[in-house]
């Protein structure tokens, strides 16, 4: 094998990895809520894989085996689309797996640049695909099949959240008017002579004394004494 052949294989593998990265980043930018739901679906990988198998296997058989062998070119094209579209859904839905891997490898800039989680997890998943035999025939098919299941399940979750009515517990609390403070009760005034004498004999507090001093009118100037 010459150096040219090695470079050709290397560039081919690198091109395929970049195509996967482009699919994952485009899906994250266009469908952020769907990818977040797909990431949650990967927390139950067994159920997600079964749903993906139930979609990919029948469409693959109908598209490539049944319709692909017919002589009509239009039917062949339809069969090709039927077989390829679930695989494209799998490539898009596996962005949730990349995001889940990126969450496990946090970085300080993840809060301001959320796409870096998918970018980082995508490279990890791409290198897992390069593992001979296990990566080619196990991890790569599982990523596409589970991605299709996660994508379909996340779409159903979006529809349920959009059409679900608000329950009583989810209703916004009604704004209540602020409670008015009760007015201080005015003490009844007693105009009896005894009460007036008690008010005169009470010692005033410093605050009341200052107020009374301030309220006193100024004294008139004294007249000069006549000599």
HSE toward the beta carbon, residue 181, CA cutoff 13 A? 3
Q: Quick one: pLDDT at residue 77?
A: 87
CB neighbour list of residue 39: distance below 8 Å, 6 or more residues apart? 96, 97, 99, 100, 103
Predicted TM-score (pTM) of the model is 0.65
Are 128 and 101 within 8 A, CB to CB? no
Helix (H/G/I), strand (E/B), else coil: 62: helix
CB 146 within 8 A of CB 44: no
Instruction: Output the DSSP codes for 141-173.
Output: HHHHHHHHHHHHHHHHHHHHHHHPPP-TTTSPP
Could you give the CA distance from residue 93 to residue 56 in angstroms, rounded to a whole number?
13
pLDDT in tens, the chain (227 residues): 688 888 888 899 999 999 999 999 999 999 999 999 999 999 888 999 999 999 999 998 888 888 877 788 888 888 888 888 998 999 999 999 999 999 888 888 777 787 889 999 999 999 999 988 999 899 999 999 999 999 999 887 655 555 555 544 445 555 555 555 555 444 455 556 565 566 655 555 555 545 555 555 566 666 665 54
> What span, in angstroms and rounded, lies between the C-alpha atoms of 125 and 144?
12
């Amino acid at each position: 094998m010459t150096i040219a052949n090695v470079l050709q294989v290397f560039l081919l593998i690198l091109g395929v990895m970049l195509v996967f990265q482009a699919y994952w980043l485009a899906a994250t930018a266009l469908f952020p809520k769907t990818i977040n739901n797909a990431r949650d679906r990967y927390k139950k990988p067994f159920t997600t894989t079964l749903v993906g198998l139930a979609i990919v296997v029948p469409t693959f058989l109908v598209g490539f085996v049944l319709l692909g062998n017919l002589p009509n070119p239009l039917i062949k094209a339809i069969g090709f689309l039927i077989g390829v579209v679930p695989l494209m859904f799998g490539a898009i839905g596996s962005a949730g797996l990349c995001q889940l891997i990126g969450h496990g490898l946090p970085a300080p800039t993840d809060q301001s640049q959320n796409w870096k989680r998918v970018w980082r997890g995508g490279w990890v998943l791409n290198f897992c695909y390069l593992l001979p035999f296990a990566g080619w025939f196990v991890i790569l098919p599982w990523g596409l099949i589970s991605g299709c299941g996660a994508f379909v399940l996340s779409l159903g979750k979006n529809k349920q959240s959009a059409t679900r009515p608000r329950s009583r517990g989810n209703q916004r609390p009604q704004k209540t008017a602020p409670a008015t403070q009760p007015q201080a009760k005015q003490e009844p005034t007693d105009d009896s002579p005894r009460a007036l004498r008690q008010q005169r004999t009470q010692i005033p507090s410093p605050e009341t004394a200052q107020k009374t001093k301030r309220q006193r009118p100024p004294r008139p100037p004294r007249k000069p004494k006549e000599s």
